[in-house]
Amino acid sequence: MIAEKSQVTRQLMEGLQKLSSKIAFIPDEEIVSAIRQLEEKGLPNNKHEDYKYCNIESFIRREFKTLDQTFNPLDLKVIEAYKLEDAINLVVLNGNYSEALSEKVIAKGITIKSLNEITSSEKNYIASQAKSSSDSLIALNTVFCGNGLFFKVEKGNVIPMPVHIIYLNNNSAPSLSNARNFIHIESGAELTLIESFINSGGGKIFSNYVSEKLVDENAKLTCYTFQNEGPLSYSVHTNAVKVNTYAHYSNTTITLSGELVRNNHNIELAAASCEAHLNGLFITKGTQLVDNHTLIDHQMPHCESNELYKGIANGKSIGVFNGKIFVRKDAQKTNAYQSSKNILMSDDATINTKPQLEIYADDVKCSHGTSTGKIDMDALFYLKARGIGEENARKLLLQAFAEEVINKIEVDSLKERVLHLFEKTL
Amino acid sequence: MANEILEEHIQNDYKWGFTTDIEADEAPKGLNEDIIRFISAKKNEPEWMLEFRLKAFRNWQNMIEPEWAHVSYKKPNFRDIIYYSAPKPKKELASLDEVDPELLKTFEKLGISLEEQKRLSGVQSNIAVDIVFDSVSVKTTFKETLAEKGIIFCSFSEAVQDHPDLVKKYMGMVVPPTDNFYSALNSAVFTDGSFCYIPKGVRSPMELSTYFRINASGTGQFERTLIIADEDSYVSYLEGCTAPQRDENQLHAAVVEIITHKNAEVKYSTVQNWYPGDKNGKGGIFNFVTKRGLCLEDNSKISWTQVETGSAVTWKYPSVILKGNNSVGEFYSVAVTNNYQQADTGTKMIHIGKNTRSTIISKGISAGFSNNSYRGLVQIKKGASNARNFSQCDSLLMGDKCGAHTFPYIEIKDKTAIVEHEATTSKIGEDQLFYCKQRGIDNEKAIGLIVNGYCKEVLNKLPMEFAVEAQKLLAISLEGSVG
The pLDDT averaged over each successive group of 10 residues in chain B (483 residues) is 41 56 65 83 86 89 83 79 63 48 57 45 45 59 78 86 90 88 88 88 84 66 89 88 68 90 92 80 85 94 89 90 94 89 92 94 89 92 92 87 89 90 84 90 85 84 75 71 52
Contact B54, B40 (CB under 8 A): no
* CA B322 distance to own-chain centroid: 20
C-alpha to C-alpha distance for A366 and A348, rounded to whole angstroms: 34
Summarised one tens digit per residue, pLDDT across range A236-276 is: 999 999 999 999 999 999 999 999 999 999 999 999 999 99
C-alpha to C-alpha distance for A24 and A161, rounded to whole angstroms: 32
Query: B397: which chain A residues are within 8 Å (Cβ-Cβ)?
Result: 359, 361-362, 364
A56-60, A72-76, B421-425: lowest mean pLDDT where? A72-76
Domain segments of chain B as ranges: 2-477
Summarised one tens digit per residue, pLDDT across range A276-305 is: 999 999 999 999 999 999 999 999 999 999
Mutation target vs A (from B410, B427, B481; most A CBs, 10 A cutoff): B410
Tell which residue, B215, B309, B320, B313, has the closest CA to residue B265. Answer: B320
Percentage of chain A beyond pLDDT 70 is: 96
Chain A residue with Cα closest to B384: A347
Distances from the Cα of B77 to the Cαs of B65, B316, B344, B371, in angstroms? 11, 20, 21, 24
Which of A363, A369, A372 lies closest to B422 in CB terms?
Answer: A369
Contact B171, B201 (CB under 8 A): no
Q: Do A368 and B420 touch (CB under 8 A)?
A: no
Angle at which helices A412-425 and A390-406 cross, to 10° = 150
* CA A391 distance to own-chain centroid: 32
pLDDT at B108: 58
What are the phi and psi torsion angles at B212 (to 5°)? Answer: -105, 140
Q: Say yes or no to pLDDT of A367 above 90.
A: no
Which of B398, B419, B425 lies closest to A359 in CB terms?
Answer: B425
Distances from the Cα of B302 to the Cαs of B271, B316, B405, in angstroms? 17, 17, 26
Beta bridge partners of B467: none
The continuous run of DSSP H or E covering B198 comes out as strand B192-198
pLDDT at A226: 95
Query: B382: which chain A residues are within 8 Å (Cβ-Cβ)?
Result: 347-348
Q: Say yes or no to pLDDT of A396 above 90.
A: yes
Residues contacting A86, CB < 8 A, separation 6+: A161, A162, A411, A412, A413
SS3 for chain A, per residue? Answer: CHHHHHHHHHHHHHHHHCCCCCCCCCCHHHHHHHHHHHHHHCCCCCCCHHHCCCCHHHHHHHHCCCCCCCECCCCHHHHHHHCCCCCEEEEEECCEEECCCCCCCCCCCEEEEEHHHCCHHHHCCCCCCCCHHHCHHHHHHHHHCCCCEEEEECCCCECCCCEEEEEEECECCCEEECCEEEEEECCCCEEEEEEEEEECCCCCEEEEEEEEEEECCCCEEEEEEEEECCCCEEEEEEEEEEECCCCEEEEEEEEEECCEEEEEEEEEECCCCCEEEEEEEEEECCCCEEEEEEEEEECCCCCEEEEEEEEEECCCCEEEEEEEEEECCCCCCCEEEEEEEEEECCCCCEEEEEEEEEECCCCCEEEEEEEEECCCHHHHHHHHHCCCCHHHHHHHHHHHHHHHHHCCCCCHHHHHHHHHHHHHHC
Which of B401, B406, B412 lies closest to A351 in CB terms?
Answer: B412
pLDDT at A1: 39
Residues A398-409 have a mean pLDDT of: 94
Query: A359: which chain B residues are within 8 Å (Cβ-Cβ)?
Result: 395, 397, 403-405, 425
C-alpha to C-alpha distance for A389 and A192, rounded to whole angstroms: 40
Measured in angstroms, the CA of A168 and the nearest CA of chain B are apart by 34
Amino acid identity, position A315:
G
Measured in angstroms, the CA of B370 and the nearest CA of chain A are apart by 10
Do you find a cis peptide bond into B89, omega within 30 degrees of 0? yes
pLDDT at A218: 95
Domain segments of chain A as ranges: 2-271, 375-426
Which of B395, B410, B422 lies closest to A354 in CB terms?
Answer: B410
Residues A393-418 have a mean pLDDT of: 94
ipTM above 0.85, yes or no: no
**Mean residue pLDDT across chain A:** 89
C-alpha to C-alpha distance for B266 and B234, rounded to whole angstroms: 6
Q: Do A350 and B411 touch (CB under 8 A)?
A: yes
C-alpha to C-alpha distance for B457 and B447, rounded to whole angstroms: 17
Q: Do B410 and A353 touch (CB under 8 A)?
A: yes
Other beta carbons within 10 angstroms of residue A111's beta carbon come to: 14
Chain A residues touching chain B at CB-CB below 8 Å:
49, 329, 332, 342, 344-374
Which of B413, B419, B424 lies closest to A373 in CB terms?
Answer: B419
Q: Do B405 and A347 touch (CB under 8 A)?
A: no
Which of B403, B411, B418 lies closest to A352 in CB terms?
Answer: B411
Summarised one tens digit per residue, pLDDT across range A109-158 is: 899 999 988 988 888 899 899 988 889 999 999 988 888 899 999 999 99
C-alpha to C-alpha distance for A16 and B318, rounded to whole angstroms: 49
Question: What count of CB pairs under 8 Å joins A to B?
Answer: 114
pLDDT at B480: 61
C-alpha to C-alpha distance for A364 and B428, rounded to whole angstroms: 10
